[in-house]
Amino acid sequence: MHIKAIPALEDNYIWLIKTGEDVVVVDPGESEPLIDYLQTSGLKVKAILLTHFHEDHVGGLSELLASQKHEVTVYGPIEVEDQVNQVVKDGDRLEINGWEFEVLKTPGHSAEHISYLMDKHLFCGDVLFSAGCGRVFTNDYQAQYDSLQKIKALSDETQIYAGHEYTLTNLAFSLTIEPDNQDLMNQQQAVKDRRSKGLPSLPTNLAVVKKINLFLQAESLKDFIQLRKVRDQF
């Protein structure tokens, strides 16, 4: 099994979980780079997982399906029920390609946002980023805070596969809040090096994220709301 990022749109990642010639696609936000890659590599889509309804996560779905010559099962939360074969909910366990994916409800960014945990790999859409978290479009800050706490409780070795390359922006923001934080500075240098080579900053493991993510570190809902509102203006 190998997991690969396909950069899409401005700063999205489409995640591919490959086993031999079979691939599971997470959040196909744009069809062109994805279909190009699948055709060049001779890969066949087994299933598609959606985390939430935003266009930059589902925009490539219909063209991707049209490009496949066989039936593909699409899974997603109730907010994308028109686009999926199977609506999934918190606690569901999906058996795909010999791998088990557990569904975790992680609302706040959108009302029905879900994440998928496969072994120690978490595909978390826009709920959590390496050094940040998704904007709370629902205004349900409690839900978003609880979603972050739920992820924080997972094993430290969990690899985080988020939907966007926002790491440097989030680190720059975090350094305005904690300018002397050495962990933030070290991570900023490490990520700059990776990005200058054209490599994604993701995945990263939860132990690292806990060290550098001020949103995960917020000790109360009140602190989280304050931080998120400052970030919205950054």
Compute the half-sphere exposure of residue 178: CA atoms within 13 Å on the CB side of its CA. Answer: 17
Q: Compare residues 59 and 203 and give the one whose CB is closer to Fe ion.
A: 59
Cα maximum dimension of the chain: 55
* Distance of closest approach, residue 134 Cβ to Fe ion, in angstroms: 6
* Distance of closest approach, residue 219 Cβ to Fe ion, in angstroms: 26
Spatial contact of 23 and 38, defined as CB atoms under 8 Å apart = yes
What are the start-end ranges of the E strands in 9-52?
Answer: 12-19, 22-26, 44-49
Region of 29-37, 88-96, 121-129, 146-154 interacting with Fe ion (CB under 5 A): 121-129
* Distance of closest approach, residue 22 Cβ to Fe ion, in angstroms: 27
User: With contacts defined by CB under 5 A, how many residues of the chain interact with Fe ion?
Assistant: 2
* Distance of closest approach, residue 125 Cβ to Fe ion, in angstroms: 7
* Distance of closest approach, residue 38 Cβ to Fe ion, in angstroms: 23
Q: Compare residues 16 and 162 and give the one whose CB is closer to Fe ion.
A: 162
State the binding string over 54-93 for Fe ion (x if CB under 5 A, else -).
x---------------------------------------
Pick one of 107, 126, 145, 170: the residue that binds Fe ion (CB under 5 A).
126
Range 15-54, binding Fe ion (CB under 5 A)? 54
Name the H helices within 71-115. Answer: none
**Burial zone of 77 (CB within 10 Å; 0-12 exposed, 13-18 middle, 19+ buried):** buried
Name the H helices within 100-160. Answer: 141-152
* Distance of closest approach, residue 136 Cβ to Fe ion, in angstroms: 11
Q: Compare residues 121 and 164 and give the one whose CB is closer to Fe ion.
A: 164
What is the C-alpha separation between 9 and 108, in angstroms, rounded? Answer: 23
What is the C-alpha separation between 61 and 34, in angstroms, rounded? Answer: 10
Classified as helix, coil or strand, 151 is: helix
Name the H helices within 117-163. Answer: 141-152
Q: Compare residues 74 and 184 and give the one whose CB is closer to Fe ion.
A: 74
Q: Which parts of this chain interact with Fe ion (CB under 5 A)?
A: 54, 126
